[in-house]
Amino acid sequence: MDRTIKRRDALKLGAVGVTGLVVPGGLGLNSLRRKERPGVVPAAFTVPLQIPRAARPVMRTLTTDYYHLTIQEAQAEILPGVRTKVLSYDGQFPGPTIRAVKGRRVVVRQTNKLTGEAVVHLHGGHVSPANDGHPANGIVPGGYRDYEYPNDQPAATLWYHDHVHHMESENVFRGLSGTYLISDPAELRLGLPNGAYDVPIILRDIRFDDAGQIVYEMGDFKYRNTVLVNGSPQPYFKVAARKYRLRLVNAANMRFFNLSLSTGADLTVVASDGGLLPAPQPVKSIALSPAERADVVVDFSGYAPGTQVVLTNAFGTDEASRSILRFDVGEPVRDRSRVPATLRRRMNLGEPDQTRTVSFGFNPQNQEWLLDGKTFDMNRVDAKIKRGDTEIWQIQNLGVSPPVPHNMHLHGTHFEVLDRDGQPVAPHETGPKDTVFVASGSTVRIKVRWDTYLGRYLYHCHLIDHSSMGMMAQAEIVA
C-alpha cells in the first residue's frame, strides 16, 4: 500500500496541475463524488502503459498454430502495490494477445480451472458455431475445449471474452478478455505502422472496494469509476516522435468512450471492428460503445521531445475518467510507415433479399431487458436466415425513460452500417462492423450476410450486463 495514495490525495496532486488539464470547479465536482469512488487509485500518469504479452504457441505445424491457455483465478497488480484478485487467461490481466495470420489456422485449448463454467467467444471471428463460444457449449470446471479459428477473414482487431449466460458480464468484468489480432499480407503491404509501433489500447472501467478488490454488481454503471488502459489506471506511454497505430478496443461492460487528443490533432481512423476502412478517415474524436474497436494512426512527429499529449475521454465523469492515457513524446526516429489514400475495396453485399426488424425493449414490471419482446432462451431460434442471403436489419431501440443506449453485436459475420435515423454514420462506422451503437429512440439500418457456416449464432446487446440479463437472441443459418 505504500506506493498508493488515497483518491483524496490523488485529486490534490491532480489539482496542482500535473497535466495542466484540470478544469476549474473540477475539484468540487470530484469532492461530491468521492463517496462513489471507493478504493485506492494512484496519482495520474505515474504508471507505465503495459503492453499485454503475446501468447506463445505450444506447437506450430505447416498450417496451424496451437495455443494452450488456462482460465484461472490470479492476482493482478492493477493498483501499484495492491494485489487484486481477478479472473484471467493464463494469469494475465488483460489476457495475452493472440497474433494470427490470415489463412493460418489457430487452435486454442482453453482449460477451465475456475469453480464455475467458462466459455470463450472470439468476438468478430468468422468461426463455425461449434467454435463460437455459444453458452450451450460451456467448459465444465476442470475440463477443456479446443477452439478452432480458421482466420479466413481480413486483417482485423478482434478480442476474445467469456460468454457463459448470466455470468458473462461478471466474468468479463473480473478479467476474462484479451485481444486477438489478425494480420494479412495485403494489409502489411500498405506500410501502416507495425511491430512496436502497433499497440493495442484496451479500455474498460472497474470498481474497487477500499482494499482494492473488484466489486461486481449487475447493471452497475454508476460506481465503476476507475478507467483502465491495458489494465492500469491513467498510465503514461513513452512514444517516439513518429507514427503509431493504436488499436482502440472498448472492452468495458457498459461504459462509452469519446476519445480525442488533448492537442486537438487528428486521429486517423484506418480500421473498425472487422478490419480496414476503404479509405483513412481523419477525425477529431471517436466514440466507441462497448465491444467496438477502431484502429487509428496518430503522428507524434510534429511534437518537440518532452511534449505530453493526453488521450482524453469527453464522456468521462471526472478528471481521472476524462484524461485516460498520456503519451510522452521522445526523440524522432526513422519512420518509413505511411497511410495510403486507399486501404481496401468497399464492402459489397449486393441487393437485399429481405428486411428484418429487431428491437431493444424493457419490461418495467419485472425489470427485464428484452430483444424483440423476449428474454433469451438458448433452446429457441429467433431468426431463421438463409445462408448467402443479404438482409437489411432495422435495429430499433424502443427507448425507456430515462433513456438507455444499447448496441447490437452479431456473431459470425460483419455488416455494413447503412444509416442511423436516416443520417450518415460516423467515419469509423464506414468499415466492416460487428457491433453498432443504437441510441435510445433511434433506429440503425445495417446490411448483413452469413455466407459460410450453418448453425446457430447469437446476436445481442453488448452492454454486456444487458445481455447477461437476457437481451440476447439467436439466429439459425440454414441452407
For the CB of residue 238, give the shortest distance to Cu ion in the complex, in Å: 38
Closer residue to Cu ion (CB): 339 or 408: 408
With CB under 5 A as the contact rule, which of the stretches 245-253, 287-295, 307-315, 401-409 interacts with Cu ion? 401-409
Binding marks (x or -) toward Cu ion, 30..49, rule CB under 5 A? --------------------
DSSP annotation of 120: E
Site size for Cu ion (CB under 5 A): 4
Tell me how crowded residue 196 is: count the other CB atoms within 10 A of its CB: 9
How does DSSP assign 432-447, residue by residue? -BSEEEE-TT-EEEEE
Distance CA 257, CA 407 (A): 14
Biggest alpha carbon–alpha carbon distance for the chain: 65
For the CB of residue 461, give the shortest distance to Cu ion in the complex, in Å: 3
With CB under 5 A as the contact rule, which of the stretches 280-288, 383-391, 413-421, 461-469 interacts with Cu ion? 461-469
With CB under 5 A as the contact rule, which of the stretches 61-69, 120-128, 180-188, 405-413 interacts with Cu ion? 405-413
Among 98, 108, 202, 461, binds Cu ion (CB under 5 A): 461
For the CB of residue 420, give the shortest distance to Cu ion in the complex, in Å: 16
Closer residue to Cu ion (CB): 115 or 367: 367
How does DSSP assign 124-188, residue by residue? T----GGGTT-GGGPBPTT-EEEEEE---S-SEEEEEEE--TTTHHHHHHTT-EEEEEEE-HHHH
With CB under 5 A as the contact rule, which of the stretches 155-163, 222-230, 378-386, 459-467 interacts with Cu ion? 459-467
Binding marks (x or -) toward Cu ion, 353..392, rule CB under 5 A? ----------------------------------------
Length reported for the chain: 479
For the CB of residue 265, give the shortest distance to Cu ion in the complex, in Å: 33
The reply on whether position 255 binds Cu ion by CB under 5 A is no
Among 145, 161, 406, 460, binds Cu ion (CB under 5 A): 406
The reply on whether position 395 binds Cu ion by CB under 5 A is no
Closer residue to Cu ion (CB): 282 or 403: 403
Q: 473 burial class (0-12, 13-18, 19+ CB within 10 angstroms)?
A: buried
Q: For residues 254 and 308, is the Cβ–Cβ distance under 8 A? A: no
The reply on whether position 466 binds Cu ion by CB under 5 A is yes
The reply on whether position 409 binds Cu ion by CB under 5 A is no
For the CB of residue 407, give the shortest distance to Cu ion in the complex, in Å: 7
Q: Give how far Cα 235 sits from Cα of 22, 193, 202, 342, Å.
A: 17, 22, 12, 33
Distance CA 382, CA 271 (A): 31
Range list of β-strands (E), 302-454 = 308-313, 323-332, 354-363, 368-371, 383-386, 390-397, 406-410, 415-420, 435-438, 443-449
For the CB of residue 122, give the shortest distance to Cu ion in the complex, in Å: 21
Binding residues among 103-142 for Cu ion as defined by CB under 5 A: none
Cell numbers that stand for 452 in this block: 459460410
With CB under 5 A as the contact rule, which of the stretches 45-53, 150-158, 231-239, 458-466 interacts with Cu ion? 458-466
Q: Give how far Cα 268 sits from Cα of 179, 180, 240, 280, Å.
A: 21, 22, 18, 6
Q: Give how far Cα 338 sits from Cα of 157, 190, 334, 434, Å.
A: 19, 8, 12, 27
Which residues is 227 bridged to in the sheet?
Answer: 205
For the CB of residue 471, give the shortest distance to Cu ion in the complex, in Å: 5
Tell me how crowded residue 105 is: count the other CB atoms within 10 A of its CB: 16
The reply on whether position 463 binds Cu ion by CB under 5 A is yes
For the CB of residue 97, give the shortest distance to Cu ion in the complex, in Å: 27
The reply on whether position 55 binds Cu ion by CB under 5 A is no
Coil, strand or helix: which one is 195?
helix
Closer residue to Cu ion (CB): 385 or 461: 461
**Residues within the interface to Cu ion (CB under 5 A):** 406, 461, 463, 466
